[in-house]
Structure 1
C-alpha cells in the first residue's frame, strides 16, 4: 500500500477530487430539473398495442380495485390498483417481468409486459382549481 502512495503525485490527488465532484453533476442536475409535482394528481394510463384502454386516478384515499385485461387471444393481465399505487398482479407471460417489477407509484414510472403489448405509465397532471389567480390569460390576435 505504501508503494502505491509513493507513486502518486500531488496533481493525482487534485484529479481524483475533481473526478469525484464531477460524478455528482448528473444527480444534482436531475434533482434540480425534475418537477416535484407537489400540486399534481397522478394518473395511471393502461395501454394495449399503443391504444389507451383505461386510466386510473391514483390518490392516498383511492379505492382498491382489480381488473383483468385480455390483450390478445389466450393472454391475460390482472392489474391491481391500491390507493396511490398500481401493479400487474398476475399474467400468463413467460418471463413474468411486469409481475416481478411490483408496485409503481411515482410520476414517470412504467410497467411493461412486452409479450402482451401492455404498458402502464404514471404521469402527473395539474390538480384542478389549484390556484386560478396564477393563470395567465393571453388575448387572441
Structure 2
C-alpha cells in the first residue's frame, strides 16, 4: 500500500515539473517559419532595448508598444551592449527579402535581425503580438 502511494506521488511530482506545453503563436501575417522550443524569456519590468542609430524610429515604436500595451517602461540604449531586446541590421539576414526578419528568443534575450528597417519593423510587430503577461511578468515563448 505504501509503495503504490509513493509511486503515485513520485509520478505526480514528475508530471508537475515538466515544462508547460508549447503554444503556437497566432501572428498576423503568419511568419514563413517558426521553430518552437520549450520555455520562456522573462523580461524585466524596465526592459532595455539596444539598437543602432538607423533604427531609432523602430526602437521608439517598440518602446511605445511596451508602454501602452503592457505598462512597461523600456529604456532605449543606442548602440550595442547588454540588453533584453536587441534590434540589429545585418545584410546577410534574408538578403532576398527586404521585409523579412529573424527573431530569436532562445538565448534568454530577444534579438530581432533584418537586412532593412522594414524587416525590423515587421519583427517589432511580431514581438508585440507574442508578448504575454504571466504572473505580473512579461514573457515570450522561446
How high is the TM-score relative to the length of structure 2?
A: 0.26
Considering Cα pairs closer than 8 Å and 6+ residues apart, tell me whether 1 or 2 has the greater RCO. Answer: 2
Name the one with the larger strand percent: 1
Bigger Rg, which one: 1
